[in-house]
Amino acid sequence: MALTKAEAAKLTNDLLLRGVIETIVMESPVLQRLPFMEVVGTGLTYNREATLPAAEFYDVGDTWTESTPTFEQVTTGLKILGGDADIDHFLLQTYRDPNQLEAVVLQQKAKAVAHAFLQAFYRGNSVVNPKQFDGLRKLVPASQTIQPGPNGGSLTLELLDQLIDLVKPGKPDALLMSKRTRRKLAQLRRSSGTVLESEIDQFGQRIVTYDGIPVLVDDFVPDDETLGSGTNLSSIYAVKFGPSGLMGLENGGITVEEVGALETKNARRWRVRWYVGLALFSTVAVAQLQGITAN
């Protein structure tokens, strides 16, 4: 069964763990919407859809031709993400509410875990750093990538429409972009005589939409990419979430473990741990508009 982290938080009775999960969820709109699949073992081997089958119209007596989808076998391994948090025994003993102190320290560690996940979600490259999972920049195939030009260029509404059309079937679930790119998109819509629509999502947050597709602004979408001789560029990702698109992988979910008192330090240690990965089940479920300039 696949659950988002927001739903997983509702299912735990451990208030400390729930607080950690909720902190991680609120760090990014991606973590609010990305479903996670529980896997057994150290990873998942699956067949990724490469091309769709074809269908035709026939006359009576025609010879029918067979057409099936093609797949490629992909193995995605889980990676170990986490960190330790030490709380001094002096503070635990003298603090008015030691439980609140622990909660505050673990919330900060949870934010660090979320930030590390999101960095890898976009930039992860297991060849460069084998400890990371592959992120969107590496997962999106060349056939699903478009550019304004060989060295980058300005965002246009036509390019954005082309990006959306690359995702099949139907529309993407979200458009992921930086704040800088969102500002440019808003400017383009105003210049065309329309504005970006807005709605309230399930978290009570107001989000803008483009052609009915949520525009998710994420601080971790980089604005420092290069393309050809172009620098300080950014990307927009169109993504479908779920078992026919992009999903997170995990084993055991996010855990909070009390390591205990330390021998060489007057402190008690807690550990936030997450065995996590990212899987793309269809190459046409994601697309990238690469090389967007600031202007």
User: pTM (2 decimals)?
Assistant: 0.86
Question: Where on the phi/psi map is residue 177: left (φ > 0), alpha (ψ -120 to 50), or beta?
Answer: beta
- Number of structural domains (the chain) is 1
**Which domain does 19 fall in, by range?**
2-50+73-292
Residue 195 inside a domain? The answer is yes
User: Distance between CA 236 and CA 215 in Å, rounded?
Assistant: 10
Residue 225 inside a domain? The answer is yes
DSSP 218-244: -TTS-S-EEETTEEEEEEEEEE-BSTT
Residue 250 inside a domain? The answer is yes
Query: Which residues, 6+ apart, have CB-to-CB distance to 34 below 8 Å?
Result: 4, 5, 241, 246, 247, 248
Residues 229-243 have pLDDT tens digits of 999 999 999 999 999
Residue 127 inside a domain? The answer is yes
Residues 140-181 have pLDDT tens digits of 999 999 999 999 999 999 999 999 999 998 999 999 999 999
Residues 14-39 have pLDDT tens digits of 666 677 777 777 778 888 899 999 99
Domain of 145, CATH number, reads 3.90.1690
| Count of C-beta atoms within a 10 Å radius of residue 89 | 15
Residue 55 inside a domain? The answer is no
The enclosing H or E element of 60 equals: none
Residue 64 inside a domain? The answer is no
User: Distance between CA 108 and CA 105 in Å, rounded?
Assistant: 5
Residue 61 inside a domain? The answer is no
Q: For 99, list phi and psi in degrees, rounded to 5.
A: -65, -40
Residue 60 inside a domain? The answer is no
Q: Name which of 135, 173, 176, 180 is nearest 155 in CA terms.
A: 180
Q: Name which of 205, 202, 230 is nearest 217 in CA terms.
A: 205
| Count of C-beta atoms within a 10 Å radius of residue 230 | 18
Residues 61-100 have pLDDT tens digits of 999 999 988 888 989 999 999 999 999 999 888 887 777 7
